[in-house]
Amino acid sequence: MLMDKIKIFKTKIKVLRAEYEITQEKLAEKIGVSRGTILEIERGTFNPSLKLACKISNYFGKSVDEVFKITEEGLADD
């Protein structure tokens, strides 16, 4: 019984990773999650908690809204 993968977040993690020249493994290790979690967040198929979003944003020295963006579709669902 799988949950639907709802694309709500758009994230800049991939761009920021390229800027900082850091791999998914390295980022996952720094944040304290698995590589799969970073991959799913980048794909937009997993919505991270606020805590995790803050951790990721802080790592890149940005605010949460600079790294994550909620789409119109996601806003309409609320």
Partner 1 sequence: MINVFTDVAVIVFILVCYPLIAVCITKKDERQSQGFLEAIKASMILSTFVFGLIFIIYIGKGIYYIPIVIIIFIVDLSIIISLLVYKMQLNTENQYQTFLGKLNPTQIISLRNICVGLTAIFVGLNYKNFLFPNYKILFFIGAYVFFFLSCCFGSKISYLKVKK
List interacting residues with partner 1 (CB under 8 A).
Answer: 1-5, 32-34, 36-37, 39-40, 45-46, 48-49, 52, 77
Distance in Å, CB of 53 to partner 1, minimum: 11
Residue 48 or 60: the one with the smaller Cβ distance to partner 1 is 48
Distance in Å, CB of 12 to partner 1, minimum: 19
Mapping DSSP onto H, E and C, the string for the chain reads: CCCCCCCCEEECHHHHHHHHCCCHHHHHHHHCCCHHHHHHHHHCCCCCCHHHHHHHHHHHCCCHHHHEEECHHHHHHC
